Amino acid sequence: MIERTTLSDPTDLDGLRRRLAADTDAAGHRRPIGLGSVRIRSNALAGLADDVAAVRRDGRVVVLVDETPMRRSGADLKTAVAAMLSARFPTELAVIRAHGPELHADPDALGQADAAIAGAGCVVSVGSGTITDVAKDASMRAGGIPLVVVQTAVSVNAFSDDMAVLLRDGVKRTVPSRWPDALVIDLEILAAAPAEMNRAGFGELCSMFTAPADWYLADAADQGGDYDAGVVALFRDGAEGLLSGAAKVRAADPEMLLELAARMTLTGIAMSVAGRTAPLSGTEHLLSHLLDMAAGIAGRPLALHGAQVGVASVLAATVWQDTLERLDPVRLTLDAAYPDPALVEARVRAAFDPLDPSGRMADECWRDVARKLDRWRAGRAGVAMMVGDWDAHRRALAALVAAPATLSAALHAAGAAAQVGELDPPADPDVVRWALRALPLMRDRFTVADLRFFAGDWDDRTVDDLIDRSGILESRS
């Protein structure tokens, strides 16, 4: 059991269901928790065969893995899992191979997975968030083959949600997927993971202090938000202690590892209950996706997702701080705030065609941005209402966002990247500037960058000032 009194216990799924059901005001917006079971404890792997037996259909067990070596107690983790299961079930180890420097959840990887799991009675994924997304998507499309997920680091929340991040025409998209039937989080496996993976998880969790504000904003501006404070509370209650205790992440403190695992699991559950990634994915995640897109097109290796999100959270918090200090909301009521779609499309293509001259990336982005633009124009009355009550909204938003300096200091204390030069590989400052400029031009999700864009306050000078103010390009002495 999770003992921190300020932290909900993600292994007590019935308790989480009761908590959510008690909040009747928002119940109609929520989806039921579909996870079958969650176990977070020392030597949780010992019960894996029982987890499989509880959900398996007739057919072999396919252990789906990527090519990254992983160890537990000195032994190869993936072959050990296959050997453990083969003592009770017909078992096959299937390796999904990358066709470039990094494995992506792209059509090639999904095709490999489809072939590997055909006719299986259960799929067991062991590995990264990417291989987990591949397993979730492939097992769903194969008719809902039972899926057991073995988490191998606290780097991302893909292990506990019902979504998948897939790569389409060079653009990362989050799509509906399925819940795992069982999630196994073995603390010895987590402790054996590379330190940078678990520190990246701390970076990922920094989005707790920026993304909920984007979600609130979308709802306040009548842009399809359906903000749910009860869902945010699932993972945010007591989270400030995570920042103040960040040095324990650097020290690989076992209690902090347990808290990271528990809170990361809660974030995945919260997003799925909300039916969207918005509770934990806002400006900071869009920035990370844009950096990945640029790297992918250039054939460069990607930095760890959570590490990138941590750095991007500092920048997102800076954008929020600047916006709450000096935005003139009246500008959102002017005709100039509702631009001609042709002009916006031209900006989308100017942002993405240099990366992909074929135009496919720009086409994909414009489809999403066109929907956002239509919604913005249709919601003008709602925007006017938000502007009329801006002082109250500004106070609520300020309560959801941590100070950039607080996030930066916590990342530093945790031993995680807080600046682009500390990423591995480091991000190119020019690409970071491009990513922030392009942020409103990528997806249909409404964020603080869109607010500034429509207010006519998202030009090169503004973007450069925000990046400079964030300090993410500076080098520590």
Closest CA to 315 of 422, 448, 469: 469
What token pair was written down for 75? Answer: 């032994």
pLDDT given at position 104? 86
* CATH level 3 topology of 206-225+278-470: Dehydroquinate synthase-like, alpha domain (1.20.1090)
What is the 3-state secondary structure of the chain?
CCCCCCCCCCCCHHHHHHHHHHCCCCHHHCCCCCCCCEEEECCHHHHHHHHHHHHCCCCCEEEEECCCCCEECCEEHHHHHHHHHHCCCCEEEEECCCCCCCCCCCHHHHHHHHHHHCCCCEEEEEECHHHHHHHHHHHHHCCCCCEEEEECCCCCCHHHCCEEEEEECCEEEEEECCCCCEEEEEHHHHHHCCHHHHHHHHHHHHHHHCHHHHHHHHHHCCCCCCCCHHHHHHHHCCCHHHHHCCHHHHCCCHHHHHHHHHHHHHHHHHHHHHCCCCCCCCHHHHHHHHHHHHHHHHCCCCCCHHHHHHHHHHHHHHHHHHHHHHCCHHHHHCHHHCCCHHHHHHHHHHHHCCCCCCCHHHHHHHHHHHHHHHHHHHCHHHHHHHHHCHHHHHHHHHHHCCCHHHHHHHHHHHCCCCCHHHCCCCCCHHHHHHHHHHHHHCCCCCCHHHHHHHCCCCCHHHHHHHHHHHCCCCCCC
Model pTM score = 0.91
pLDDT given at position 100? 76
Q: Where are the domains of the chain?
A: 13-193, 206-225+278-470
Render each residue's pLDDT in the chain as its tens digit; 477 residues: 444 446 789 999 999 999 999 886 665 679 999 999 999 999 999 999 999 999 999 999 999 999 999 999 899 999 999 999 999 999 999 999 998 777 889 999 999 999 999 999 999 999 999 999 999 999 999 999 999 999 999 999 999 999 998 887 767 778 999 999 999 999 999 999 999 999 999 999 999 999 999 999 999 999 987 999 999 999 999 999 999 999 999 999 999 999 999 999 999 999 999 999 999 999 999 999 999 999 988 888 889 999 999 999 999 999 999 999 999 999 999 999 999 999 999 999 999 999 999 999 999 999 999 999 999 999 999 999 999 999 999 999 999 999 999 999 999 999 999 999 999 999 999 999 999 999 999 999 999 999 999 999 999 999 999 999 999 997 544
How would CATH label the architecture of 13-193?
A: 3-Layer(aba) Sandwich (3.40)
pLDDT given at position 165? 86
CA distances to 38, 209, 229, 448, 452 from 321, in Å: 37, 12, 21, 10, 12
Which residues contact residue 82 at a Cβ distance below 8 angstroms, ignoring those fewer than 6 apart? 63, 91, 92, 93
13-193 and 206-225+278-470 in the same fold: no
pLDDT given at position 1? 40
